[in-house]
Chains A and B, each alone.
Chain A
Amino acid sequence: MHIPDGYLSPSTCLTLGAVMLPVWYRASAKLKKDLDVKQVPLLSMGAVFCFLIMMFNVPIPNGTTAHAIGATLVAIIFGPWAAVIAMSVALAIQALVFADGGILAFGANAFNMAFIAPFVGYYVYKFISKNALQGSTRQLAAGAIAGYSAINCAALVASIEFGIQPLFFTAADGTPLYCPYGLDVAIPAMMVAHLTVAGFIEGIVTAAALKFMAVQPVTMLQAQTNKKEEVV
């Protein structure tokens, strides 16, 4: 889902980058207000988790590959705004160091994977896991469904970004300037990969990590409660 440079027009990149500016601003304001300094190392580990999980490419029946993104887990544990920062950091290093995802397309990739994914994941999880016990089947199922939904929404948005390119940006002779595949090709291709394989991986990874962490839950909320107790 890491869109390389050249697949999106400069105007598409610019627009999505401009959309991300207030998102990043709000995210840092939110973190400034809510984040305990003690949570910083754990949140940074969350960013590392996202980075690493994206290295696990899985084969897709149509001959391409895909991977989980980890955004859902970080959004569930630290909230969607913290996940915006964690995912953006992971995406930035991927683009700068490993040329995974374009530099010009950074705003677009951040929009898909660091904004759409964590927010969809967070709210789906919240909706399903309402009042569920920590470590309960419903909580884990909520994580799995949230992961599945989050990555698929991000993939859908990415496929639309790909697919609108030949509609709007063609050379004088009609050949596409950027991504040559329209919505009719991009949406099915991206959605097959994520609905059939990557979505399940994101779901399983999210639920498994929640189970792993449920042994010693360290939600942001809980850390804040502990802090209050210490103060008292």
Chain B
Amino acid sequence: MMKRYWLAIAALIILSPLGLLADGTAWGEWGGNDLSETLGYIPQGMQNVQDVWAGIFPDYSIGFLGESSLSQSIGYIIAAIIGSAMVYGLSLLLTKMIAAKKNSTLPCSNK
């Protein structure tokens, strides 16, 4: 049963480059430069926090792979794998910690 779900996850990872086909940016997610092209300026408050955090693989792209659409797709898949592993790991860690607390009190509630 779990195998079925893992296969579905694997399928999503392999198909993820389909998400690259959509051109453009989501509304309200433009970077400072894109915004200054449309507005003529970068809002001051935005400028102040622009460099707060750039991420490790911004925009799900693995920079060193290059710009061709094939390497972008491969990069996107790698980002999907890295991200999935991290999400799975963090979620496992968090929820196990939460669930484990309960189990330690279980014997008492069973009495």
Interface residues, chain A, CB within 8 Å of chain B?
1-7, 9, 28, 31-33, 35-37, 39-45, 47-53, 55-60, 62-67, 85-86, 89-90, 92-100, 102-104, 158, 162, 169, 171, 175-181, 186, 189-190, 193, 212, 216, 218
Contact = CB atoms under 8 A, between A and B. Distances in A.
B5 interface: yes
B31 to A, nearest CB: 8
Q: Which range holds the interface residue count of chain B?
A: 35 or more
B91 interface: yes
A57 B94 contact: no
Given A36-B99, A42-B5, A67-B19, A97 B83 contact: yes
B68 interface: no
Nearest to B26: A65
30 contacts: A2-B26, A5-B52, A32-B102, A35-B98, A37-B96, A45-B5, A47-B91, A51-B83, A52-B12, A53-B12, A55-B19, A56-B18, A59-B21, A62-B27, A64-B25, A64-B26, A89-B91, A92-B90, A94-B83, A96-B55, A97-B83, A98-B83, A102-B52, A169-B45, A175-B43, A175-B44, A176-B43, A179-B28, A180-B43, A189-B27
B111 to A, nearest CB: 15
Residue of A2, A90, A104 with highest tally of chain B CB at under 10 A: A90
A23 to B, nearest CB: 14
A45 B57 CA distance: 22
A2 to B, nearest CB: 6
B108 interface: no
B98 A90 contact: no
B70 interface: no
Contact of A35 (B13, B44, B56, B102): B102
Contacts of A98: 55-60, 79, 83
A48 B28 contact: no
Contact of A97 (B1, B6, B57, B95): B57
B92 interface: yes
A57 B22 contact: yes
Contacts of B59: 98-100
Nearest to B20: A57
